[in-house]
């Protein structure tokens, strides 16, 4: 039973998350010839304040981007 565990920042629509589940399921079925019903997808959404790269959270990156002049 393949398990795909994805962590992503909150903020996507239910439709986007549904599309992601389908795309991941399709990819696993195609890549390893797993039966579709055996594929498990877990989506873990975290607040943008709890997801960081390079010591900067997503929330901080978004705030900085809004402060920059266009």
Give catalytic residues, as residue numbers.
2
Distance CA 32, CA 41 (A): 15
Say if residues 8 and 42 touch (Cβ distance below 8 Å): no
Alpha helices by DSSP H, the chain: 14-32, 58-67
Place of tokens 């039966």: 35
């Amino acid at each position: 039973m393949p398990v795909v565990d994805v962590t992503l920042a909150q903020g996507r629509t239910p439709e986007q998350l549904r599309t992601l589940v389908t795309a991941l399921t399709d990819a696993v079925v195609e890549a390893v010839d797993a039966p579709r019903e055996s594929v498990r997808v877990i989506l873990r959404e975290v607040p943008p304040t709890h997801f960081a790269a390079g010591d900067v959270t997503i929330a901080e990156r978004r705030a900085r981007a809004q402060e920059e002049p266009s």
